[in-house]
Chain A
């Protein structure tokens, strides 16, 4: 078990090297002459107005919330799908009920107009 994950561990440890090498090489090969105008925020020629980190709409938050629920559902459903061959009809019924309850949530969100991008 852990022998398998040893590969992933080595991969995680080594993988930063591959993107880091070209970036560092770029820094060494390329010129480096910063000046304030060059470093200005890029905005199609006009100067940027106000703060970038402004307040965003609640819509994004709702999408993220709906997603969290479905994500957690996935965590439950994947082991069940992996055990599918060993399950009896009752177990499938339970899993299907689980999916059905979640569909209910989606229907509610839909009926409240949450999924409407405004």
Chain B
């Protein structure tokens, strides 16, 4: 027990080693370390959300030419979210009449549990990870697929038509976008030959975004849909179904859904960083161990990880502040007719090409081959999209009329012609601008 030792261990993020040095290495110590790790990780997750909410409000406000929070806690409104939490805590919790008690009350707890549990395999720095499971990525997938069920629980339990509608949309959307997400995830796993998150980082001598930019993009888009952020925020579409599945929740129970959403977004940013941007890697400095045996490099790794993660988080907020909502038919068409075929083709070709590269090839050569393959696939996909878009426009102008109404009617009318794709707003910006469809307006389609 040495204060200096403790301080150095704290600074080098190796508190577990400190405890093992001083209390022996029995199963009891391990249990203690595990419990401590869970408490630290969960508390960190809950506290960082307070900061995240402030950050998002500030970023989005600036993008919309507003100032954002600027009263509570100095001129930057730093304590705004704390005040909001206080407000939520003092609100009345209303249990709507006819609600299903079990489902209604279990959903807010379970959704936060699921959001927290995913963090268990997130590598913050070398050795600073809840637990390095050898099926880490699969574990994340399993937990996140369970959260679809929890949203259905909330929507069903509320005894509210909007809530149920929102939940059904959420399930259709999340379930659909899980398919390209799974397929895109296969690419970094193939490249690293492991499912463990630390193993994937260890394999990234060059960040995988250079090997698999298309996979990274597919993963990014589908993670937007999985977390229900704009442009895929149909599940809560304020202007249509008021707030979606959590409409009947008030006070802290609502706060829990809010918390889970922000936590999931940060998690997705961290996952993109881990899978494609090298995670905590920072030119080898993250493995630096000082002369007296303290791994101070972990601190550098932690800073590198969070710098990258917040950069990604900023991009998520950027998307949120820029893109309007798309229609439900467009969301699902975009997924099933573009993302899923694209990601299938991607996995198909990446698997073959990577096996054809002889083992022991220079990593830069391997990277170049993969990059060229990705560019080729992206070019073919975009060319197909462009042709389809042109066909649509021709068909639209031949039919006369001002497009927008036509398109909505066409989708609502149960037509047989399955060649009619929804326009693809994200991949194909120039085409969108002169599409007569009015893609960008969130037209409410009576889907039910």
Contact = CB atoms under 8 A, between A and B. Distances in A.
A30 B190 contact: no
B390 interface: no
Q: What DSSP secondary structure best describes chain A's contact surface?
A: helix
B365 to A, nearest CB: 17
B63 interface: no
Given A7-B38, A22-B89, A32-B93, 9 more contacts: A6-B31, A14-B39, A23-B93, A84-B189, A89-B355, A95-B351, A99-B347, A106-B341, A117-B328
A118 B171 CA distance: 17
A33 B131 contact: no
B441 interface: no
Interface in A70-98: 70-71, 74, 77-78, 81-87, 89, 92, 95-96
B447 interface: yes
Interface residues of B, number: 93
Contact of B131 (A4, A19, A30, A42): A4
Interface string A3-28: 11111101110111011101101110
9 contacts: A7-B37, A8-B117, A11-B120, A18-B116, A19-B256, A26-B91, A52-B160, A78-B135, A118-B412
A51 to B, nearest CB: 9
Contact of B109 (A4, A20, A60, A85): A20
A81 B189 contact: yes
A11 B90 contact: no
B14 interface: no
A79 to B, nearest CB: 8
Contact of A63 (B31, B42, B92, B332): B332
Given A4-B132, A16-B113, A92-B352, A39 B94 contact: yes
Contacts of B39: 14
B280 interface: no
Interface of B: 30-31, 34-35, 37-39, 42-43, 46, 88-98, 108-109, 112-113, 116-117, 120, 130-133, 135, 137-139, 141, 145, 156, 159-162, 164, 168, 171-172, 175-176, 178-179, 182-183, 186, 189-190, 193-195, 242, 247-248, 251-253, 255-256, 259, 328-329, 332-333, 336-337, 340-341, 344, 347-348, 351-352, 354-355, 411-416, 418, 420, 447-448
Interface size class of A (residues with CB under 8 A): 35 or more
Nearest to B337: A115
Nearest to A69: B179
Contact of B117 (A12, A54, A66, A117): A12
B355 A87 contact: yes
8 smallest CB-CB distances across A and B, nearest first, come from A26-B252, A85-B193, A19-B112, A117-B329, A7-B131, A81-B189, A39-B97, A115-B336
Contact of B255 (A22, A33, A99): A22
A19 B113 contact: yes
A70 B419 CA distance: 23
A72 to B, nearest CB: 11
